[in-house]
Amino acid sequence: MVLQFAKKIQQNPINEPLITQLVKAATSIGANYCEAEDAVSKRDFRNKIGICRKESKETMHWFRMIGSANANLKIEARELYKEARELNLIFSKIFRSSKE
């Protein structure tokens, strides 16, 4: 969904860095979760889940920035922000539960 959303954003000097940062942060969540599933130790797992947590928080930030810069996308950005927040809460719970 993030990639489809990013394609809707008008290309201009303000939006271009926001789009890049959003796509990097959002796609990093899935990549790091895949790595967490293949972790070689509990410590490695916790580290990767911690990265997922950080990237989901960063994704929330970029959705806020894009919503602020693009009034026509504010509602959709807000909905996607909520999804990123839910992921953040999930990863935070997993992170806290996996203490060494």
Position 16 scores a pLDDT of 98
Q: Count the neighbouring beta carbons within 10 Å of the beta carbon of residue 7.
A: 8
Going along the chain from its start, the domains and CATH numbers come out as: 17-97 (1.20.1440.60)
pLDDT at position 99 = 79
Angle at 83 between CA 81 and CA 88, to 5 degrees: 90
Q: What is the pLDDT along the chain (100 residues), one digit of tens a residue?
A: 899 999 999 999 999 999 999 999 999 999 999 999 999 999 999 999 999 999 999 999 999 999 999 999 999 999 999 999 999 999 999 999 987 5
Whole-number pLDDT of residue 98: 87
